Structure 1
Amino acid sequence: MPPVARPARLARFVIACAALAAAGATQALNINYTFLPGTSEQAQQAIRMAGAEWTSVIKTDVTLTLDFESGLRLSSGLLGTTKSMYLDMYYGEFRSRLAQGSTSAADAIAVASLPGGANFGRLINLTADNPAGAGSATPYVDPGRTTVHLSAANARALGLQFQGNESPGCAAACDARIDISNRYAYDYDPTDGITPGTFDFVGIVRHEIGHALGFVSGVDSLDLASTLRPAGSFTAVTALDLFRYSSLSAASHVIDFTADARHKYLSIDGGATMGPEFAEGEVHGDGAEASHWKDGSGIGVMAPYIEQGVADSRITSADLLALDVIGWTTVSAVPEPAPVALFALGLAAIAGLRLGRRRGPSRMAA
């Protein structure tokens, strides 16, 4: 494939997330596609191509129903949105289901890192009841959280059975609805490069499906809150948030649910090992929604921005690690960005020690 020349000045647009079981080798994720009016045949083929990339690397035997629309004019600068159906699960049940579906060394470490009992604590800020003052940016520990906020897809990955509904704006019962804006020009076939001045349509859909699968953070609800509210009203702690840490939260043995510019990272061992960095928040953080990897880090498909004339990132081991530890069963033979390779080296020693003691196997929710 010939390389695509990058324009001298590349426009960057947000790919946003609007909302806020183990499987055998022959099993795999299945997607039922519903195409809403305004979705061209060309777009439909590209959507199926993006979906096939996910079904080739996720081995959980689950069927998802996803609605797609590519004829809507979304806000300027916004290429795509994902609206999922959500369910709340008691933390104890979540931890139990995650342990029961454990299939990998990463799962074993992740499950072992989760607090026992029926609740967990978090670092939070910007709340009406902040001990440092109403709305203060100073982080404090908020203990006793009892529920986990799951996207429908993530809940299915954990073995929960339920009827979908039309709440995401679907034509009929579905797990999520994905909209791609009609404001911009797209290249629908990335196999021969991305035409200058266009965006990688397959890459955008690939990214949005990742949000539906559970790569999402409830920190966005805190970061974007328009009024002061007490900590107890911010209940959207997702499965992915249970592995969101900072050096400050790790020192307190809690996750980091704050909206600020301190570094946040994926950690599957209680914050001890720093993995790929997360974005920090659109308003109070680094300018990107918290439901993404850190911008410019080259971590994976769940980065917040895409550029014209350039193929978007493919699914990487970092993307799959995040999904693996929240309930999905994934393959491992995918491209591995440098930061993740270093993270894996650190986890190798931990895995050897932990698994040696546990003698058992121990991945995505929103």
Structure 2
Amino acid sequence: MNTGKSLRIAGFAALLVIPVARANLTFNLIPDPGMPQFAIDGFTTAANLWSSAIADNVTVNVQIGYAALGPGVIGQAGSAFYETSYSSVGTALGTHATSPDDFSSVAALQSGTSFNRLINHTSNNPDGANSSTPYVDTMDRVGMTTANAKALGLVGASGEVDALIRFSSNFAFDFNHGPVIDPGKIDFIGAAAHEIGHALGFVSGVDDIDSFNGTSPGFAFSDNMVDLFRYSEMSLNMGAGITDYTADTRDKFFSVDGGLTSIALFSTGVTFGDGRQASHWKDGLELGLMDPTVAFGERMDFTLNDYRLFDVIGYTLVPEPGTGVILVLGMMLILARHKASTER
């Protein structure tokens, strides 16, 4: 289930569309009316960072904006979602497998038309509604952003908007993306690139579990693509290949071999987890582009962790992608100060 992350937008036919393409991935950036050119240019540069790394011949439509937002709100972002059967996803991943990580991760997927996972904070938890105690649940559906579905060939080309990203002009941004970011500003290009990463599919359904407070049953929460590769020591103790869809403080990690090898830790949830959205890497470890926080004046790199995750959720990487250096900002862009850092 992807409540709170879905986006349905229509009526953009009259707006300017800016094609951005390197390699095969193309972005149609659709500016809000009156958006300043320097902000459009910043989004264009951010999109080019992704286009230089991903070779899939698909077009992703992103509505972009730069204007004054509400008090304390640094930005707004959301993505359109698509849900299909687990078996369809397994077939699509197998068809699109090109790398060693692809072949390993597909081979490690649980067989059949459904899969087992650990889950908690549901209305039908055997230990009581909203109990934090994990239990094994069976799921047969997978959700993903429409951009991710396009890359997997599950949906065709469309003019519908795949994502919306807006930043507030009330905040100080550095639009240069140079070697040194102004210490009192946020790297706009890096922030935009991070949000594009969410639109491309770095989204965990654990954030839904974390925010619904046990009001919905387990079967209402379909896994997202990232969650098919999210494991914990406890989930693996429950059985080979069982994934972890819980919101709590235990470590959850990314793996491409069914949990045998931990590649990088995930954040575990704002409410019941470590205080960061589960749709990110673990905070404070400098794991990659999709980290949850960033300091003012900071510029960060894509890492191999980022490339490997987008590879196994269905994208084809450009061989030996260049290491783009970018800053990251969170999917929920409410400005907060915590140890001199900004929540991404």
- Ranked by relative contact order (alpha carbons within 8 Å, sequence separation 6 or more), the top structure is 1
Which position in structure 1 is the counterpart of 2:197?
210
Which position in structure 1 is the counterpart of 2:295?
307
Ranges in structure 2 where 5+ consecutive residues have no aligned partner = 7-21, 326-344
CA contact (8 A) 2:122 2:213 kept: no
CA contact (8 A) 1:89 1:148 kept: yes
Which position in structure 1 is the counterpart of 2:306?
319
Q: Which of 233, 249, 263 pairs up with 1:247?
A: 233
Aligned partner of residue 111 in structure 2, secondary structure: coil
Which position in structure 2 is the counterpart of 1:159?
153
CA contact (8 A) 1:101 1:158 kept: yes
Aligned partner of residue 58 in structure 1, secondary structure: coil
Matching of residue 150 in structure 1 with residue 114 in structure 2: no
Q: Specify the code of the residue in structure 2 equivalent to 1:121.
A: N
Which position in structure 2 is the counterpart of 1:117?
112
TM-score scaled by structure 2? 0.84
Question: Hey, what's the Cα distance between the residues in 1 that align with 2:236 and 2:88?
Answer: 24
Question: Hey, what's the Cα distance between the residues in 1 that align with 2:157 and 2:54?
Answer: 22
| Pairwise CA distance, 1:335 | 4.7
CA contact (8 A) 2:92 2:154 kept: no
Q: Which of 144, 162, 173 pairs up with 1:186?
A: 173
Q: Specify the code of the residue in structure 1 equivalent to 2:76.
A: T
Map 1:262-273 to 2 at 5 A.
262-273=250-261
Task: Figure out how many residues of one structure are paired with residues of the other and give that number.
Answer: 305
User: Using a 3 Å threshold, how does the CA distance of structure 1 residues 18 and 51 change in structure 2: closer, same or farther?
Assistant: farther
CA deviations on 1:221-260 (whole Å, 9 max, x unpaired) are: 010115522111222x111100001111122231100000
Q: Specify the code of the residue in structure 1 equivalent to 2:67.
A: G
CA contact (8 A) 2:130 2:214 kept: no
CA deviations on 1:179-205 (whole Å, 9 max, x unpaired) are: 212331101011252112111000100
Aligned partner of residue 38 in structure 2, secondary structure: helix
Matching of residue 44 in structure 1 with residue 40 in structure 2: yes
Ranges in structure 1 where 5+ consecutive residues have no aligned partner = 1-16, 21-25, 166-172, 338-366
Q: Specify the code of the residue in structure 1 equivalent to 2:78.
A: K
User: Using a 3 Å threshold, how does the CA distance of structure 1 residues 315 and 122 change in structure 2: closer, same or farther?
Assistant: same
| Pairwise CA distance, 1:159 | 1.0
Which position in structure 1 is the counterpart of 2:19?
none
CA contact (8 A) 1:33 1:67 kept: yes
Question: Hey, what's the Cα distance between the residues in 1 that align with 2:197 and 2:4?
Answer: 13
Which position in structure 1 is the counterpart of 2:130?
135
TM-score scaled by structure 1? 0.79
Q: Specify the code of the residue in structure 2 equivalent to 1:250.
A: L
More helix by share: 1
Which position in structure 1 is the counterpart of 2:161?
174
